[in-house]
Amino acid sequence: MTKRYTLLLYIVCALFLALYAILCWHSRLASDDYSFIWEVYNHGIVKATYTQYILWCGRYAANFLGYVIYKYLDVDQTYYFLLPLLSMSLLLSGVYKSITNMSAHYNFTLHSSHKIILALSFPALLFFSTVDIGETWFWYNCLVHYVWSVIAFVWGLSFLFSRRNQFFSLIASALCFIYVGGASEVYSVVLGQFFLGLLYLRSKTSMRPFLSDKFNRRILIVFAFFLISFLITILAPGNYVRATFFPKPGFISTISLSIYMFGKLFLWFLPQRAVYIIVFASPFMIIGNSYNSGNTFILKNFFKKIK
């Protein structure tokens, strides 16, 4: 990448981080936050988490973390703005660490400046790709479910590919993916595809050579913990209790709703965010292209890949 383009990216990412910091400062407790504070105040962290699991929501890991936060911060707004700030810090450092460990695992040398740019671009891309930014990033009740699922995922990858202290990194990775499985059903399905893809790419041999590989065994162990955590979440009685509050969808209504949401996503939402997506996705393609073809860059081919 040229120095001018690199400098421009740093400026854009700095502006994004400044915007994010301002939004963090102005974030506030909302209605459901006060409800959770009341629950933890009257029932304690463990009982409140159990009650949610039995009567309303199976996301035990995210609920537990949320109750811990509400327990110690209570209704005082003073320090709550630090939660989204901490989330962004963990996301930035987690992506950087994951890129570093994955490139080292595959014996691929990646320049530090490129790792920094990618680590800055990923959270910005995720931020502007979010359907409801305010709810996902700055509503404390949702923050622990969605953003922290991604944080746990990137840190889980970092520990999974780490070469240092293999036993500790394995335990840390398993804990991260336990949180992913216990924080969001939808994200678990999406992020779980990473495991399936990774296992598929590494399972082109017979079973015995596959299991003899130490890294393959690490993947299977972490995936097992993730899968168990996910099953605990989706089998929660509270999920079925909550489902009774909504009308049962028929076949026609399900199809029509799916078509409507598909159109809304691709014809209304994505065109509005296309500029942001191109700006923050471009570094991944440009940097990847520079390593793949000897720093050559053809604009026509680049836009074909964007398309």
DSSP string covering 82-104, please? HHHHHHHHHHHHHHHHHHHHHHH
Are 148 and 136 spatial neighbours (Cβ–Cβ below 8 Å)? no
**Mind listing the pLDDT tens digit for each residue in 12-26?**
999 999 999 999 999
pTM reported for the whole predicted model: 0.89
What is the Cα–Cα distance from 44 to 250, expressed in whole angstroms? 40
Which pLDDT score, from 0 to 100, does residue 15 have?
95
Residue-wise pLDDT for 196-253, tens only, equals 888 887 776 667 777 788 888 899 999 999 999 999 999 999 999 988 888 887 888 8
pLDDT at 297 over 60: no
Angle, CA of 31, 145 and 168, to the nearest 5°: 140
pLDDT per residue over 280-291, tens digit each?
998 888 888 777
The whole-number pLDDT of residue 47 equals: 95
| 183 or 4, greater pLDDT | 183
Residue identified by tokens 């359907």 is 131
For all residues of the chain together, what is the average pLDDT? 89
The closest of 101, 127, 89, 122 to 9, measured between CA atoms, is 122
- Report pLDDT digits (tens) over 35-49: 999 999 999 999 999
Strands (E), 181-240: none
- pLDDT tens for each residue of 69-91: 999 999 999 999 999 999 999 99
∠184-186-190 over CA atoms, to 5°? 115
Q: What whole-number distance in Å separates Cα of residue 138 and Cα of residue 144?
A: 10
Percent of the chain at pLDDT > 70 equals 94
Q: Which of 122-126, 176-180, 241-245 has the lowest mean pLDDT?
A: 241-245
pLDDT value of residue 139: 94
